[in-house]
């Protein structure tokens, strides 16, 4: 019998604002955080949330993670006092790339002023595990901690691994999520060179006119706890990580396997892990990047995993329509949004979806938010994440009982 893994805290810094509530509320009300073709966390001013010392020792990706973690831990009631033996509390933070801005700045320093002037804070800022290190240090978490890297599936992989860690009793609680801050000239140039970015600067997943993703930045963090431990301490339970499935395409460096077979297998594994069937699924939070290839392959994968008829009846929406693609943070931020959807029973729409693609025929929640249909039991949702490199992850999340 696997230990049940519950969610007791959510935190997010996204282009829709600082704080998890802004993410779901603003997205559901139809607000889009994308401006001039980028999802920037404009409301995030590091010095408002961090000391001078913290801020200057952390790359932006770790700053975002630390602030989101603080919010999640506050909600879980951990800030006054750690409710666990510190060695039983772990920390996993995903990122696609790490401290890109620091790499670029220090590389400039080396070119302009010589190698001897490169900052001793360079490596500790840009190492991809820096977010996990910063959170573990600030909040005194002494269980295992490390970074997780699988491009755009990183955040979801982190949540899956954290779940296994608790189920296997390697930890009683895990502070887990993902963070990304690659909105630099080099970041834009690199993704643009792949022809992955939208030329129009519009994120409209599943729409016929979709022409690439819009890059965004931000962080999402969750507090996961073994259900027995959370209940014993009287914590408010926001939801549950019920299932995790992961596969690889083994197909192409960047393009998804077009039939969606490997991605479908990840979804099937997650449903099986959760002990639920397609009939139980009330909502899908899609990876939905707004690229031609992803949105087609994901639609194929959902039909394959859920059955054609059932897939057409489940509402599918993409958070990326409101904030862009947060890369290594996407899976975590979207898991936060999915939990919020399950708790509020409000499904936010796929913004900008107006012209259906005749090839893509699921219910992509056009127009405006709609109520989540709940049939007596706590509702279940799928959150998908697929990555360059062919990494596929599906999470099955369950809402808290009403």
Partner 1 sequence: MATVTADQVETRVVETLASFGPDASQITRESSFEELDIDSLDLVELAQVVEDEYGVVLKGEDMKELKTVGDAVDMIVSRAG
Q: Are 97 and 215 spatial neighbours (Cβ–Cβ below 8 Å)?
A: no
Task: Mark whether 32 is an active-site residue.
Answer: no
Please give the helix or strand (H or E) that residue 319 lies within, else none. Answer: none
**Of 24, 41, 91, 325, which one is the catalytic site residue?**
325
Q: How many CB atoms lie within 10 A of CB 251?
A: 13
- Shortest spacing between CB 56 and partner 1, in angstroms: 7
Compute the distance between CA of residue 296 and CA of residue 288 in angstroms, rounded to an integer. Answer: 9
Q: Assess whether 325 carries a catalytic annotation.
A: yes
Task: Write down the residue that tokens 């929640």 correspond to.
Answer: 365
Q: Note the residues at the interface with partner 1 (CB under 8 A).
A: 51-53, 56-57, 113, 116-117, 119-121, 124
152 is catalytic: yes
Catalytic one of 32, 157, 229, 287: 287
Minimum distance between the CB of residue 59 and partner 1, rounded to whole angstroms?
15
Helices (H), ranges, 140-288: 154-167, 185-193, 227-232, 261-274
Q: How far is the CB of 121 from partner 1 (least distance, A)?
A: 6
C-alpha closest to that of 144 among 188, 91, 99: 91
Distance between CA atoms of residues 220 and 21, nearest Å: 12
Which of 120, 234 has the CB closer to partner 1?
Answer: 120
298, two tokens: 């994901």
For the CB of residue 137, give the shortest distance to partner 1 in the complex, in Å: 13
Specify the residue, 117 or 199, whose C-beta has the smaller distance to partner 1.
Answer: 117
Task: CB nearer to partner 1: give 52 or 250.
Answer: 52
By beta-carbon proximity to partner 1, the closer residue of 111 and 116 is: 116
Given the residues 41, 152, 157, 391, the one annotated as active site? 152
Q: How far is the CB of 117 from partner 1 (least distance, A)?
A: 6
Rounded to whole angstroms, the Cα distance separating 264 from 256 reads 12
Find the DSSP H helices in 114-205: 122-126, 130-139, 154-167, 185-193
Comparison of 54 and 257: residue with beta carbon closer to partner 1: 54
What residues are annotated to the active site?
152, 287, 325
């Amino acid at each position: 019998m696997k230990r049940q893994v519950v969610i007791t805290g959510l935190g997010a810094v996204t282009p829709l604002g600082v704080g998890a509530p802004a993410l779901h509320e603003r997205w559901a009300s139809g607000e889009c955080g994308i401006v001039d073709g980028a999802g920037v966390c404009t409301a995030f001013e590091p010095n408002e949330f961090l000391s001078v010392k913290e801020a200057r020792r952390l790359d932006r990706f770790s700053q975002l993670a630390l602030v989101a973690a603080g919010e999640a831990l506050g909600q879980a009631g951990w800030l006054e006092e750690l409710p666990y033996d510190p060695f039983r509390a772990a920390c996993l933070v995903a990122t696609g790339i790490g401290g890109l801005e620091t790499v670029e700045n220090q590389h400039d320093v080396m070119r302009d002023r010589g190698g001897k002037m490169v900052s001793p804070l360079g490596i500790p800022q840009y190492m991809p595990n820096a977010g996990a290190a910063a959170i573990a240090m600030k909040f005194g978490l002494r269980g295992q901690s490390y970074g997780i890297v699988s491009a755009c599936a990183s955040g979801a992989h982190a949540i899956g691994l954290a779940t296994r860690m608790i189920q296997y009793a390697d930890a009683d609680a895990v502070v887990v999520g993902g963070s990304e801050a690659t909105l630099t000239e080099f970041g834009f140039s690199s993704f643009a060179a792949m022809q992955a970015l939208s030329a129009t600067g519009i994120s409209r997943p599943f729409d016929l006119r979709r022409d690439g993703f819009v890059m965004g930045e931000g962080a999402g963090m969750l507090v996961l706890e073994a259900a027995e431990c959370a209940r014993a301490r009287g914590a408010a339970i926001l939801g549950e990580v019920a299932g995790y499935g992961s596969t690889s395409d083994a197909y192409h460096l960047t393009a998804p396997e077009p039939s969606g077979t490997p991605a479908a297998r990840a979804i099937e594994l997650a449903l099986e892990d959760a002990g639920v069937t397609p009939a139980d699924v009330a909502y899908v939070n899609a990876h939905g990047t707004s690229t031609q290839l992803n949105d087609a392959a994901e639609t194929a994968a959902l039909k394959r995993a859920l059955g054609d008829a059932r897939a057409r009846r489940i509402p599918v929406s993409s958070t990326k329509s409101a904030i862009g693609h947060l890369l290594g943070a996407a899976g975590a931020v979207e898991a936060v949004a999915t939990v919020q959807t399950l708790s509020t029973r409000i499904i936010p729409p796929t913004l900008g979806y107006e012209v259906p693609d005749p090839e893509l025929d699921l219910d992509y929640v056009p127009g405006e938010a709609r109520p989540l249909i709940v049939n007596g039991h706590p509702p279940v949702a799928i959150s998908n994440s697929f990555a360059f490199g062919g990494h596929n992850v599906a999470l099955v999340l369950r809402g808290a009982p009403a």
